[in-house]
Structures are given as structure tokens and as C-alpha cells.
Amino acid sequence: MEGEPLTDRTYNHVAFQIQEKEFDLYMKRIIELGLEIKPECPSVAGEGRSIYFYDFDNHLFELHTGTPDERLSRYLQDE
């Protein structure tokens, strides 16, 4: 991200799709970098897993094991 670091942390974030088999590898890398990881929220079965973490400038990122279509489809099942 360009510009000055953010002064406040928000839930506004940038999300990236990763493969389920890569989840542990990415988690390990984020921990090794010393980045702050938000606690994992309980998720709905079938929507995939997410890692939310802040960079050193307070930007929030998400790595998610699924597609937006899969996530929306899962939520529509409950309606």
C-alpha cells in the first residue's frame, strides 16, 4: 500500500484466494514475519477458512480458501 500508515485499524481489507493445502504454509509465514493475526472467527461449514492479519502499516488482509461464489452459495443455503 502506498501513502502514510493508517492511524486506525478497521475491518476494511483486501482479500486473496489461496488453496486449502496452502493454509498452514501461509499461516507459518505470517507468524514468522511477526505480523498480528486476528483471532479466527467461527465460520459456517463449507465457506472455507480465512486468515486475517495486519501489516506493519495497519492494513488488514485476508487469505481465504474458497471463492466468493462458494461463500455466497453457502450462505444462500440457509435462506
Contact 53, 61 (CB under 8 A): yes
Instruction: With respect to residue 40, please indicate whether it lies within any of the assigned structural domains.
Output: yes
Q: In what order do the strands lie in the sheet with 50-54?
A: 13-17, 60-64, 50-54, 36-37
Q: How high is the pLDDT of residue 46?
A: 67
Please tell me the distance from the alpha carbon of residue 79 to that of residue 39, in angstroms, as a whole number.
27
Active site residue 62: yes
Q: Check 22, 36, 40, 62 and give the catalytic one.
A: 62
For residue 63, give the CATH number of its domain.
3.10.180.10
Instruction: With respect to residue 42, please indicate whether it lies within any of the assigned structural domains.
Output: yes
Q: What is the CA radius of gyration of the chain?
A: 14
Q: Which structural domain range is residue 44 located in?
A: 13-76
- Region 62-74: mean pLDDT is 79
Instruction: Say which DSSP state 38 is in.
Output: P
The pLDDT tens digits of the residues spanning 4-63 come to 888 999 888 999 999 999 999 999 999 999 999 998 776 666 678 899 999 999 999 999
Q: How high is the pLDDT of residue 73?
A: 73
The pLDDT of residue 69 is above 80: no
Its pTM stands at 0.78
